[in-house]
Amino acid sequence: MIYDKRIETMPREELRELQLIRLKKIVTFAYEKIPFYKQKYAKARFHPTHIRRLDDIKRIPFTEKSDLRDNYPYGLLSVPTTQLSRIHASSGTSGKPTVVCYTKDDMRVWTNCCARLAASAGVHSSDIVQVSFGYGLFTGALGMHQGCEKLGAAIIPASSGNTERQIMLMKDLQTTVLVSTPSYALHIGEMLEKLGYDIRDFKLRIGLFGSEASTEAMHAEIKRKLNIFTNDNYGLSELIGPGVSGECLAKCGMHINEDHFYPELLNSDTLQDAAEGEYGELVLTTLTKFGMPVIRYRTKDITSLDYGRCACGRTTVRMSKLRGRVDDMLIIRGVNVFPSQIEGVLLNMPEVGGQYEIIVTRDNYMDRLEVVVEVADGSLLTDFEKLNKLRDKIKHNLKTILQIDVVVKLAEPLSLKRYEGKSQRVHDNRDLSK
Ligand code: DLL
């Protein structure tokens, strides 16, 4: 179903006009209401009146995560805190979290954005939606909760963790939609098998997955285990949370809610536009979130954009599955390696399970890339010949894609750490100062 047909199928020219009107409005607003923007723009000799066409956005300086941190907690607000409806925060790996604030209007925008993406995946009013994201400061749980509720669905705010109980609830309450990270969905699938459940006794039909990278191969594995239609959706707290983009039933990229978020795709070295179809860093501007506008935010997420027609009838641009982040690209012996490439190789091999870890070390100035992966069939671990053959096959397949040698270790099924929220599969233990 198309939630907001007028907007989502709007002819491009009309959409661009709407974007320009909104861009002018929000940039002027930010400049007038938020000293941070006024100072930044004055320094760059930019004034909101310079925006006459959409391309003039290039004249505006970027906003970065450090700007949000430096203005912790309320420095980027356009309104007094008395006008806020909600405050979320994204947990940083160190130091203070990044705080994101919403006015009542911002909450309406956010809820509609999430409702759109859930509808585009096929969620409707008779669904029972189990939200297995951790409730709390994280935007994922409440964002998706509100969006699905807006569609009229019944929500089970299960939160994450206690997987056995999740599965019991899912079966007894006849959950039809699962909202979680893809890695947690995979874990639920594994546990379900281990506990002896039969997926045919469940009513699950859709999985709304987001908040971390997942490959097509991983979706296929989840689909096999849970017998559901899987959907990938993307967002980030700094901009709003979930609701920036999501796949439709055609599953050929995530439609960006372009009337609310203006996307640019840049080559992160040259900061020039990446060509259509090429990978680049996504830069986003909030067009309608006035409590805490974020203009030209460098997401560090690497994707590509497709403005071509989509079978679903939506005219909004589609972003490809994330290839990774500018900052999680590993450079190993001079070669660029994305964790998603490793995942793609592993999950295309039925002999291994979906869980893996990537460990990078440096010894004597030499980088070493190790991949630990669980075998699908534990009985293999007693057969040395078969085990060696499998190890060599994985090494070979990884080398074909990555062009470098990888140390492969095989582990027992269910022996690696599982994550209930975002997974942390990459451990870069190098001291890069040496
Ligand atoms: O993860 C918002 C969200 C919640 C999106 C639930 C979708 C579903 P943050 O915690 O601020 O916000 O993390 C944002 O997570 O910059 C990406 O690097 C990554 N990310 C989010 N969605 C996807 C996705 C939420 N579908 C950061 N694929 C972003 C790959 C994703 N990475």
- Over residues 150-172, the pLDDT tens digits come to 999 999 999 999 999 999 999 99
86 lies in the same domain as 63? yes
Same domain, 4 and 42: yes
- Check pocket membership of 90 for ligand 1, CB cut-off 6 A: yes
Per the listing, tokens 């986003």 go with 284
pLDDT band at 4 (very low <50, low <70, confident <90, very high): very high
- Please report where in the chains the tokens 């990446």 appear, as a residue: 274
Q: Is residue 165 packed enough to be buried (19+ CB in 10 Å), middle (13-18) or exposed (0-12)? A: exposed
Is the Cβ–Cβ distance between 318 and 246 less than 8 Å? no
Residue that is last in its domain, among 288, 306, 326: 326
Q: Is the CB of 319 under 6 A from ligand 1?
A: no
Q: pLDDT category, 334, cuts 50, 70, 90?
A: confident
* Ligand 1 neighbour 232 (Cβ under 6 A): yes
Count of structural domains within the chain: 2
- Which tokens is 5 given? 């047909």
Please state the separation of Cα 215 from the chain's center in Å: 12
- Is any ligand 1 atom within 6 A of the Cβ of residue 99? no
The preferred substitution site among 100, 211, 268 for testing ligand 1, maximizing ligand atoms within 8 Å of CB, is: 211
Asked whether residue 341 falls in the same domain as residue 307, the answer is no
Give 3-state DSSP helix, strand, coil % of the chain, rounded to 5.
35, 25, 40
Do residues 164 and 225 share a domain?
Answer: yes
197 Cα to the center of ligand 1, angstroms: 31
For a mutational test of ligand 1's pocket, the pick from 222, 236, 244, i.e. the residue with the most ligand atoms closer than 8 A to its C-beta, is 236
pLDDT of amino acid 94: 55
- Residues 253 and 351 reside in one and the same domain: no
**For ligand 1, atom 9, which residue shows the shortest CA distance?**
236
Per DSSP (E only), the strands in 181-320 are: 206-210, 229-236, 241-247, 254-256, 261-266, 280-286, 297-303, 305-306, 318-319
Per-residue confidence (pLDDT) for residue 275, from 0 to 100 = 87
Measured in Å, residue 171 CA sits from the centre of ligand 1 at 28
pLDDT tens for each residue of 374-396: 999 999 889 999 999 999 999 99
Which range (3-12, 35-44, 358-367) has the least confidence? 358-367
Query: Cis omega (within 30 of 0) on the bond before 97?
Result: no
Q: Do residue 213 and residue 335 come from a single domain?
A: no
Is the minimum distance from the CB of 140 to ligand 1 under 6 angstroms? yes
Atom 22, ligand 1: which residue's CA is nearest? 211
pLDDT in tens, 63-114: 999 999 899 999 999 999 999 999 999 875 556 788 999 999 999 999 999 9
Whether the CB of 351 sits within 6 Å of ligand 1: no
> Which tokens go with 277?
């179809």
Region 220-235: what's the mean pLDDT? 97
* pLDDT classification of 268: cutoffs 50, 70, 90: confident
Distance, CA of 324 to CA of 318 (rounded, Å): 17
pLDDT cut 70: percent of the chain above it: 98
Q: Determine the structural domain holding residue 228 and report its residue range.
A: 1-326
